[in-house]
Amino acid sequence: MPSPDPKVISGNANRPLARAIMRRLSMHRGVRTGLVEARVERFNDQEIFVEVFENVRGEDMFIVQSTSNPANDNLMELLIISDALRRSSAARITAVIPYFGYARQDRRTKARTPISAKLVANLIANSGIERVLTMDLHAAQIQGFFDIPVDNLYASPIFALDIMHHFRGSMDDLAIVSPDVGGVARARELAQRINAPLSIVDKRRERAGEISEMTVIGEVAGKTVIIVDDICDTAGTLCKAADVLVEAGAKEVHAYITHGVLSGPAVGRITASQLKSLVITDSIEPTEDVKSCANIRIVPTAPMLTQAILNIWNGTSVSSLFDTATLEPIYEPLYPGLNIDA
């Protein structure tokens, strides 16, 4: 007989997050459960091998696997785990991909370039995965690349709770800033959640990867500024935007970024920057350098992802998790006493 509970298996991309999800599931279901026992390892030539040690026939399976660095290895792990579950007669396979890699390649920016996000969507669907649960896709239209259902969660309700908690008493002094024109919709959504004004940093590039000029559009003088974006990679744009905002009269500059890729010189740049704090989620497993950085703080996604898994499993609404008020009781231990409906 299939288990009465959803079953979760994890690749190697972010096992701490997968274990945190299982702790939350145990609390919700009132029964202590763990990840499905499996081994995901490599042969000497780096081919990936997966063996599932538990019976999964007829089970509702959830694979927790971000496709972060090393993106290709983690993507192949996801596909091979799915193939192993499909061939073991799992009833349904849902991929929980907190960070969806290759999302920045969502269109052809010039001739003779790929649309890699579409290719990855095809690979995922053809591997036997029947549903995808992800968070803050770089571009919402990527959902249309899939021929299977995609639930795209948002970090902004969590960020709104975090801001209301940490800036309690000074909410009137806040201003939300988008670091580029492309991220305005994302920044506007958070600004509306906390009833703050919105500004934009307009950047011009002379060539790829080099910013020649930045201009602040909007009023930030005397404000505590919060930069909002979905991905921080090398942190060059973010740190330069912080400098420009301080020059424009901002009192303090903070940043809320969903996916902390933080590759190469990113941590060093953030440490030496004008940023008072950088808040990221644990959608990508943080490195030791990230965890030890004094002005980087990590907020958990496990409470929201766990609730989404339960809602998918029992056939209830996932879009309810788009509301800050819905997430408030889930995150109450972290942010007590907010009473946002009061």
Distance of alpha carbon 286 from the chain centroid: 12
Residues 6+ apart with CB under 8 A from 59: 2, 3, 7, 90, 91
Q: What is the DSSP string of 293-321?
A: -TTEEEE--HHHHHHHHHHHHHT--SGGG
CA 339 – CA 32 distance, rounded (Å): 31
24 burial class (0-12, 13-18, 19+ CB within 10 angstroms)? buried
Q: Please say whether the beta carbons of 171 and 188 come within 8 A.
A: no
- For residue 203, indicate whether it is catalytic: yes
For 288, the enclosing helix (H) or strand (E) is helix 288-292
Q: Active-site residue among 118, 203, 251, 276?
A: 203
Q: How far is CA 66 from each of CA 70, 117, 118, 153, 308, rounded to the nearest angstrom?
A: 10, 14, 17, 14, 16
Q: Tokens 């029947």 sit at which residue? A: 130
Under DSSP, the state recorded for 37 is P
CA atoms within 13 A on the CB side of 172: 1
How would you list the strands of the sheet with 296-299, edge to edge?
210-217, 198-207, 174-178, 224-232, 252-260, 277-281, 296-299
282: left (phi over 0), alpha (psi -120 to 50) or beta: alpha
Angle made by CA atoms 153, 155, 160, in degrees to the nearest 5: 135
Catalytically annotated residues: 203
